[in-house]
Amino acid sequence: MSSRLRRLPSMFGLSLAMLAAPAFAQIKIGVTISSTGPAAAIGIPTKNAMLLWPKEIAGQKAEYIILDDASDVTNATRNMRRLTAEEKVDAVVGPVTTPNALAMLDIAAESETPMIALAASSAIVEPMDAKRAWAFKIPQNDSHMATIITQHMSDNGIKTVGFIGFADAYGEGWWREFSKVAEIRKLKIVGSERYARTDTSVTGQILKLMTAQPDAILVAGSATPAVLPQKTLVERGYKGRIYQTHGIGTLDFLRVGGKDVEGTFFPSGPGVVAKTLPNSNANKKTAMDFLRRYEAAYGPDTMTQFSADAWGAYLLIANAVPQALKAAQPGTREFRAALRTAIENTKNLMVPQGVITMSPKDHVGLDQRSRVMGRIVGNKFTYAYGGE
C-alpha cells in the first residue's frame, strides 16, 4: 500500500475542492461509492482514481463531493438525496454496487440529475424507461462479458458448467445472462447455487456443484467475497476450470485469493491488463496513458478494473460538458438536462475500458473492443485473448 493511500481520510464525506483549494467551483459533481463495508475493495481504488480527476473541466472550475455509502443501500439513497437536493450537483458518479445503483434510479429521475453508475448489471440501464433515461453506466453489461466467457469455454472444450453467484441483483443478473448465452453455445449448466456477500462458508453449495462433476464452474461475485467459493473449490479438490466475472478486478482479490486463484480465467476491460495487451489492441494507448498516471500516484501494479472505470466516468463527463455549456450554466436544471443529452449523444469516445458510442436506447455504448479474456498469472491480472 502506498503512503498516499494510507493518508487518505476515512471521513464519511470528502470534498475534493478542499484538496484542489479553489474558493468556488462552477461545475459540481457528486459521488457516492463504497469506501467501507463489503465492497470497499472496489470503492477504494475507485476513489483513488477520482483523486486524480482534473480540477477544471472545459475551462470551468470543478468541485467533486465524494460520499461513502458503506456498501449499504440505505446510505446510497441518503447520499443521492443529499447530493441532488442539498448540494445541487450537476451530475452524480456511482455507486459501485448494483443494488445501490438500482435504489438510486428513482432519485436521479425525480431530481433530473444524470447518474453515471460504476456498477455492472444491465438492469441499471435496461429496459430503457423514464427513470433510466437519466442513468448511464461505465462497466460492461453482464451480457457483454458472458459472451466472451462462453466463447472461451466453448473454444476450450468445456461441455458442462456449474454456477454459483451472489444472492442479489449482481448474481441474478449474471445468472440470467450467462444461462441464456450458455444455452446458445450448447453449454449444459448442471448446477446453480447462491450465497450472500457476507457469508463465511459456502461448503454446502460447493459440494452440490462438485457432485454434478462440471467441466468448469463460474463464480458470479465481485471483490473479495468472490474468493470464498474458489478457495472452497480448491480445498475440496475440484480439478475443473474456474472462471470469475469482471467484478474480481481488485488488488484485494489477488491478495486474499493468493495461490488459490492462480490460473483463473475472467473477462475484463482492456485497461485492467493494459501492460500485456497486444500492440494491435485499439485501447492500448488510452489504457496505458491512464495506467502511467495512476501508477505515478499509487505505485506499480495498482491499477484495477474499478479505477479505470472511474477515469472513464470523468472522460465521459468532460467530453459532454462543452456541449452542455452551450445550452445553460452549471447549477441549473437546464444544464443538467443538456448534460444528460450530451452524454447520451457521445460518439467514439476512447476510455481505458473501451470505446463509447451511446444513443437514446443504449446508455453503455461499448462494443466488442471493451472486453478481453484475462487470466491470473503470477498473482497478476494478465491478457489471454480477445478484444480485437
At 111, list the grid cell.
Answer: 431530481
Please tell me the distance from the alpha carbon of residue 193 to that of residue 175, in angstroms, as a whole number. Answer: 10
Q: What is the DSSP code string of 156-195?
A: TT--EEEEEEESSHHHHHHHHHHHHHHHHTTPEEEEEEEE
Report pLDDT digits (tens) over 325-368. Answer: 999 999 999 999 999 999 999 999 999 999 999 999 999 999 88
Angle at 360 between CA 334 and CA 313, to 5 degrees: 70
Question: What percent helix, strand, coil does the chain show, rounded to 5?
Answer: 45, 20, 35
Domains of the chain with bracketed CATH: 3-140+288-369 (3.40.50.2300), 143-268 (3.40.50.2300)
Mean pLDDT of the chain: 92
For cell 480477445, the residue is: 386
Q: What is the pLDDT of residue 388?
A: 54
Residue 114 in contact with residue 324, Cβ under 8 Å? no
- Enter the pTM of the model: 0.84
Residue 375 has pLDDT above 80, yes or no: yes
Q: What is the pLDDT of residue 23?
A: 39
* Mode of pairing for the β-strands spanning 349-351 and 354-356: antiparallel
At 24, list the grid cell.
Answer: 468556488
Give percent of the chain with pLDDT exceeding 70. 93
Please tell me the distance from the alpha carbon of residue 96 to that of residue 119, in angstroms, as a whole number. Answer: 4
Angle at 268 between CA 198 and CA 351, to 5 degrees: 115
Report pLDDT digits (tens) over 162-199. Answer: 999 999 989 999 999 999 999 999 999 999 999 999 99
At 76, list the grid cell.
Answer: 446510497
Please tell me the distance from the alpha carbon of residue 115 to that of residue 26, in angstroms, as a whole number. Answer: 18
Please tell me the distance from the alpha carbon of residue 332 to that of residue 152, in angstroms, as a whole number. Answer: 48
For cell 491470473, the residue is: 376
